[in-house]
Structure 1
Amino acid sequence: MSRVKIAENVKRRLYAESLGRCMNPNCHKDLFIGDRDIAEQAHIHPYFKTKDNSFENLIILCPNCHTEYDKILQYNLEEVKLWKQIRKDEVNSLFSKKFDAFDDLKREVVPLLLKNETIYNSYYLGNKKELWNKFEAELLVNNNKLKKMLEKNLDLIQSHSKESYSNLKYVATFIKHVDEFEATRLDEEKERQIFFPIEINSIFGIAPVKESILPSTESLEALITKLDEQGKFERIVIGIEDPYILLNEDGKSSKVFFDDTPRLRQLYFEYKCFKSIKVRLDSLNFALKYMNSKGISFEFNSFNNLREITVCGIKMLFIYDYCLSEVGLMQLAPEENSVVINLHNWNGESCISSQAYELSKTMNVTLLTMKGYYPYVNRIKCEK
């Protein structure tokens, strides 16, 4: 009578448990060599006696150790049973490490995510089923490592009581995805419900996702200040369709787009840069984009104050007030001959009070609503 096949979900658990190496603690041979998978499922209690294909009665070994256990009887049953516990302890020791900073976690996580992405894109999306079936085991191993590390370091992931503002929800989804992926059976028998959340790649700086621009200009200014102090800030490109900051990480330049929300949110959390909103970043970018469209150059007076620019020697200050009052203008204390633009356009002409206009004459400053901003920009002529 032929053997009953080992259930696919049991195989998946075994691969995940193995970490991709022979589970004999004195061997640890790599089971993934090039495009070959040399892993073998060995029965702890002999199959011919027990007919037991359970996860608890199986262990992943290299061919040599499997032969030495089954045929040469070099190891006894109690030794081999202990190997499973030893591997479990090794997993917890190696991949349940608590990191002090997100950057430390990132260095361990990113190579595993990239390897999984390569396997998935090359073999699954590439419709190379035979190779996918081989390399899927390696993906299961990597997922197990990632799950252990993330579960131990959830406090390093940005979170919020409102799920739509939280990166932690994406990590929780990824962990559920790992569990489901490990438990699913053959393609013809399964229908996955939880897919890999692409926001994970954004959080760890692998690939951006396009969401909405986080509104606080002040948060971005605070981040630039922190990055600059650490020598990581290179420049900001704003006033374009896809604005970004360019930062240097481990000697490599990378773009952080304003609308790559999970990535930017994680950076704000990591550097403690969340600030209340005074000037909306999307509105500021829109105003500067209009200026760029007219071929007018501007300079920031300081990169950690994006609300103030200089155009043709004139200082321009952007604010975002429902109604700029006389008191509000006094508190701004703009320099003489400067221009103040209220980006808040919901209130129309009433976004600047008549009293503020009167005071501006005394202060010798120009106040503009967005309606007045466009013709003002069109009249700008810089001396060559």
Structure 2
Amino acid sequence: MDDAKHVHIAEMAHIFAASDDGPRAKAELTEAERGLYENIILLCANCHKVVDKIPDKYPDGLIRIWKLEHSGRLNAAFGIKKFKNRPELRIEIERLLGENKEVHEMTGPDLDYRSNPEAPEADMWKARVRSTIIPNSNLMIRILDANVDLLDDCERKVFAKFKMHVRGLMLRHIEGRDQVNIMFPKEMESIGV
């Protein structure tokens, strides 16, 4: 059963249907809004089928509660706290940003090896992105999601760009897709200040 550890049983299910004629359809949502994280929940194949076959028994409000409760359990498991104020939030974010910045300065693609993708430094950078930068960045996303009420409107926009940047890192360094990513938003360095 060694292959079993690579089998994913979760399916991405829409809270509001991806189309106007699907379960829990909400015609006023744009196609982009239907694909947003806020409208997606992970379910096993059986549960996905059941909630879509009996949408009256599983309304959007109930499914959103499931997602919120699951998110709370994950936050507790990873020690994600709800901070009382911006300075407390900033201390935690600054620590993770600092570690990522150090990795980038010591091994990042802006160094002299940039013109030689075969250089050992390039492999070191790729390894550190997977072992440090992506995990730290995903932890920052969970922390900021749990404390988004402490951010102002401009910071929320920066946070959205940061999420896109991290997703791009994951596509490139974990999924192996060779694509251009948006740059790290420099404004993240002062988020929560």
Q: What TM-score bracket applies, with the shorter chain setting the length?
A: 0.5 to 0.7
Amino acid paired to 1:92: N
Please state how far the C-alpha of 1:175 moved relative to its aligned partner: 1.7
Please state how far the C-alpha of 1:179 moved relative to its aligned partner: 2.3
Describe the superposition over 1:61-96 as per-residue Cα deviations: whole angstroms up to 9, x where unpaired: xxxxxxxxxxxxxxxxxxxxxxxxxxx987511343
1:7 corresponds to? none
Pair 135,55 (structure 1): closer, same or farther in 2 beyond 3 Å? farther
Alignment counterpart, residue 130 of structure 1, candidates 107, 123, 130: 123
1:13-28 equivalent positions in 2, closer than 5 A: none
1:143 corresponds to? 137
Q: Is the 2:150–2:192 Cα contact (8 Å) retained in structure 1?
A: no
2:116 corresponds to? none
Please state how far the C-alpha of 1:193 moved relative to its aligned partner: 3.4
State yes or no: 1:117 paired with 2:101. yes
Amino acid paired to 1:176: M
TM-score normalised according to structure 2 size: 0.54
Counterpart CA distance in 2 for 1:95 and 1:173 is 24
Pair 157,204 (structure 1): closer, same or farther in 2 beyond 3 Å? closer
Please state how far the C-alpha of 1:121 moved relative to its aligned partner: 1.8
Of Structure 1 and Structure 2, the greater helix share is in: 2
Counterpart CA distance in 2 for 1:187 and 1:144 is 16
The runs of at least 4 consecutive aligned structure 1 residues that moved more than 3 Å come to 52-57, 88-91, 185-189
Pair 123,107 (structure 1): closer, same or farther in 2 beyond 3 Å? same
Counterpart CA distance in 1 for 2:170 and 2:177 is 14
TM-score normalised according to structure 1 size: 0.29
**Higher Cα Rg: structure 1 or 2?**
1
Counterpart CA distance in 2 for 1:55 and 1:138 is 24
Of Structure 1 and Structure 2, the greater strand share is in: 1
State yes or no: 1:99 paired with 2:83. yes
Describe the superposition over 1:283-331 as per-residue Cα deviations: whole angstroms up to 9, x where unpaired: xxxxxxxxxxxxxxxxxxxxxxxxxxxxxxxxxxxxxxxxxxxxxxxxx
Counterpart CA distance in 2 for 1:189 and 1:177 is 14
Amino acid paired to 1:120: H
Alignment counterpart, residue 6 of structure 2, candidates 39, 53, 64: 53
Amino acid paired to 2:81: K
RCO higher in structure (CA 8 A, sep ≥6): 2
Describe the superposition over 1:253-277 as per-residue Cα deviations: whole angstroms up to 9, x where unpaired: xxxxxxxxxxxxxxxxxxxxxxxxx
1:1-384 equivalent positions in 2, closer than 5 A: 45-47=1-3, 53-54=6-7, 91-93=74-76, 94-124=78-108, 125-126=110-111, 127=113, 128-136=121-129, 137-159=131-153, 166-185=154-173, 189-204=177-192
Give the 3-state SS of the residue equivalent to 1:184 in structure 2.
Answer: helix
Please state how far the C-alpha of 1:130 moved relative to its aligned partner: 2.5
Please state how far the C-alpha of 1:131 moved relative to its aligned partner: 1.7
Percent identity reads 22
Give the 3-state SS of the residue equivalent to 2:162 in structure 1.
Answer: helix
Please state how far the C-alpha of 1:202 moved relative to its aligned partner: 2.5
Coordinate RMSD, CA, aligned: 2.9
Pair 188,142 (structure 1): closer, same or farther in 2 beyond 3 Å? closer
Pair 54,196 (structure 1): closer, same or farther in 2 beyond 3 Å? farther
Q: Is the 1:92–1:148 Cα contact (8 Å) retained in structure 2?
A: yes
Q: How many residues align?
A: 122
Give ranges in structure 1 of 5+ residues lacking alignment. 1-44, 58-87, 160-165, 206-384
Q: Is the 1:147–1:178 Cα contact (8 Å) retained in structure 2?
A: no
Pair 118,95 (structure 1): closer, same or farther in 2 beyond 3 Å? same
